[in-house]
Amino acid sequence: MGAKDWEGLAGNARRAFGAWEPSSRLARRQLLEAWLEQVVLVREELAHTITRETGKPITLARTEVGRAETTLKVTLEAVAAFGEETVPYDLMPGAEGCRAVLRRFPLGPVLAITPFNFPVNLAMHKLAPALGSGCSVVWKPCPQAPQTSRLLWESFEAARILMTAPVHLLQLAGSDPVAAEALAKDPRIAVVSFTGSERVGRHLEQVLAGKRLLLELGGNGAVVVDEGVDAVAVARQLAAAAVAGAGQNCSKAQRIYVHRQFWNTFVPAFVEAVKDLPVGDPTNPATVVGPLIDQATACRVDEELDRAVAAGATVLLRGKREGALLPPAILTGLSEEDPFQCEEAFSPVTVLTTVDSFEEGLARASATRFGLRASAYSRDQRNLRLAASRLRAGGVLLNLPPTFRLDAAPFGGVRASGNGFEGPRWAMEGFTESRLIVEGPAL
């Protein structure tokens, strides 16, 4: 994508916004309803394309497409309720005869940049709320799943044509990062919504100062396990949260802090739970742990495991890499400065650490620059309340794994993990601005 291409995308997006911004909420909702119908028609093709391009196990790919459908449905509901709030000026002294509303207006064309690990649902969390807010969108999807992205875009185009919505309302951009940055800087783009690495997110903050920038970045999800919980049940939940989809999830359970009195009970249960998860061919519906996105990534993680072992880590579980397929690994005995503790693993690697108390676990869980998701398990309600107040993350899960997410709910991080929330209702706030409109009595 060259300079002329991105300039064309920006110009088309601005013209499409001019045509779409005055549209009614009914028209926006009808377009999204038509898109949902088109997605349903290609749901199985979308799932198989995700698996073929990214290696995500087919059962998880089908789940993702189903979630994308849910995201669209929730956006439909949000469009119906979003946009205007009555302000009770008639109850305020000095405003007799006045009427007021707080109304939200779309900001303009949106550049949406999405990753490979959820190429359909994470895209839908940006595209549908932006369109439902009255914005046009330029979508730069991940380069690893081009056919998946095109198929989703084609399903939208079929709906757009059917509903006679403006041309270029949703444009599919190329994957060239240099051109994408130029597009992000273009003054005709009003909002940039990015999901991806912390490194790229921080770069965008530097080059897009003053522009609305919505960031959903990485994490190194921590879990604190108190003594006395059901070891087998918690281990099963956390095993899937740690390694399903090869652990390529920014919310994955990466750092698990276990009460010393519970260590000998929980650790064997967790290791066995991870061993029980089928590893291998992503086209097999039984597979839970498939390959990483490519062989180079698998080699890098495998080398990092060698480094950690050489530095003194104890291996509780590890298998032999075969191409891009890296079996789950469980380590213990790592320092808090080890990359598997302080960075985002984004792989099927989990670190277990013993702590002397639940409070120590909370403190060590929060001693990170990230803040996306964190979990705590306890049967003591006082400890759960303590976890809610001390775990510094955009999402705190109590007696649930950090990967637990409902697409209708807010989702986002703090500190190095980003800003704001996604989830259709909250995403729409990011694509709009508020305006208080007050009408006085006729003179």
Annotated catalytic residues are: 216, 250
* Distant-in-sequence, close-in-space partners of 277: CB < 8 Å, separation ≥ 6: 239, 240, 243, 244, 288, 289, 328
H/E run at residue 137: strand 137-140
Which tokens go with 306? 């060698």
> What residue has token string 């920014």?
250
What is the spatial distance between Cα 72 and Cα 77, in angstroms, rounded to a whole number?
9
Task: Yes or no: say if 198 and 184 are a contact pair by the CB < 8 Å rule.
Answer: no
Among residues 288, 287, 347, the alpha carbon closest in space to that of 321 is found at: 347
Q: Any bridge partners for residue 418, and if so which? A: 216
Q: Which residue type does 144 have?
A: Q
CB distance 196 to 167 below 8 Å: no
Q: 114 and 139 in contact (C-beta within 8 Å)?
A: yes
Tell which phi-psi region holds residue 210, choosing left (phi > 0), alpha (psi between -120 and 50) or beta.
left
- Report the C-alpha gap between 176 and 88 in whole angstroms: 50
The two structure tokens encoding residue 293? 């996105």
Cα-based distances in Å from 239 to 28, 32, 359, 406: 41, 36, 23, 19
Strand order in the sheet with 84-87: 84-87, 99-106, 432-439
| DSSP annotation string for 60-99 | HHHHHHHHHHHHHHHHHHHHHH-SEEEE-GGGSTT-TT-E
